Structure 1
Amino acid sequence: MRRILRKIRRRFAKTAPPPPPPPFRHEYKRTWEALAETEDSAKMAVSGYLDEGMYRSHGLKTKAMLEDTVGLKPDDVILEIGAGVGRVGAVLAPGCKRWIGADVSSKMVGHMRRRLADLPNAEAIEISGHDLAPIPNASVDLVYCTVVFMHLEEWERYRYVREAFRVLRPGGRLLVDNVNALDDGGWAFFEHLLSFPPENRPPFVSKTSTPQELVNYLTRAGFHGIGQRNVDLFIVVHGVKP
């Protein structure tokens, strides 16, 4: 019997499938599902810290940036692209008509729903990683995407800008940001990541933008009144749908 069991074990050991290869950069859903296995791992992946006090203070900082650029109104329907565990939604939802957090990871969406369960006007939805298909045309007043473009290829950055134009009502506002490659701090960030051997770069490794790149996306998508500002090592670009 033992001899038979050993043969069975050896057989299955030989035929067991190899572990799956690491995801490619464009496999956003696969990448972020793995990173969001638990709420703590999700928080570390999107921010690098677990402290709830820091989460709230950084959420309030993003809220202040939105107020100073695109404005926040009590009757706004607001959509965040790449909302993670709802860090910003927790401080925006109490002051708007409806807040929608969209994320590519179903696990991230689950964490977000649990964390924002006491906010009846907050909603979390899963998206493909390439579009905003669940959101109807001309149904949103404000779209923002912060600390997300760094994880995306250029094509997806533009796709989201173009999709934002679709889902916004006339007069709706968009704000996006990324680490600014033309800023000294942004360039130091770029050179730090340059030190990684190419074969060791994870699929979510951060990539920078120039102000011209982000302005070009909004211009090509049809936005007007485009503005930009530097915030720390980030470039923030915003515009209005005519």
Structure 2
Amino acid sequence: MTKEILIAPSILAADFARLGEEVAAIDAAGADWIHCDVMDGHFVPNISFGADVIKAIRPRTKNIFDVHLMIAPADPYLEAFAKAGADVITVHAEAGAHLDRSLQAIRMLGKKAGVSLCPATPESAIEHVLDRLDLVLVMTVNPGFGGQSFLGSQLEKIARIKSMIGARPIRLEVDGGVTRDNAAAVAAAGADTLVAGSAVFRGNSAAEYAANIAAIRTAAEAGRVPKLQDSCTHRMRLSDGGRIR
């Protein structure tokens, strides 16, 4: 069954001087999830925020907090982020030696478990943990900074991971340089959850954020149409002896 498209604005691109207001604004603007990019200055070359900030903004929305841990090691901090209000906790396959253990720990905390892959990491890294996952996050930039350009080389990886997931109830998320201009290609490759930072927080009002979210969603949904049409055409050919009326 095709999953609905979800848009998860990344608060990394928000105005940190009024972060609580920004979270409330994207909530009102139609965000499906709130994406929280946590960076440690070690695993990635930047520092963003930690569990205390997530705890502080948690009361501003009842929306899903999609917490992406770009930190190593991650295991010692999983409980803190769970208590802070994370709903989905995603760790990097590259950030520790025992990915299966990390995913078990997240689920034991009562949270959804995700794994993220950097651009140079092959999808084979998650082959043996698929049944521990609620989400796979494909990085389409090298993690560490917002505002980077989308890496088109990752589209084939997204498609291969979509095939790996099969009928499992796993969301396929993409993060990095997603805009209304490439959302169709991302969705056509198989992604159903799109993270967007700069492309959402362009402007300074909930109305502008809503227009940005709607534009990305519309483009992503349109990206799925050719596949649906091809499937219908294929069925028509089969049912009519290979001819199309």
Q: If the length of structure 2 is used for normalisation, what is the TM-score?
A: 0.37
> Which of 1 and 2 has higher RCO (CA within 8 Å, sep 6+)?
2
Q: TM-score, normalised by structure 1?
A: 0.37
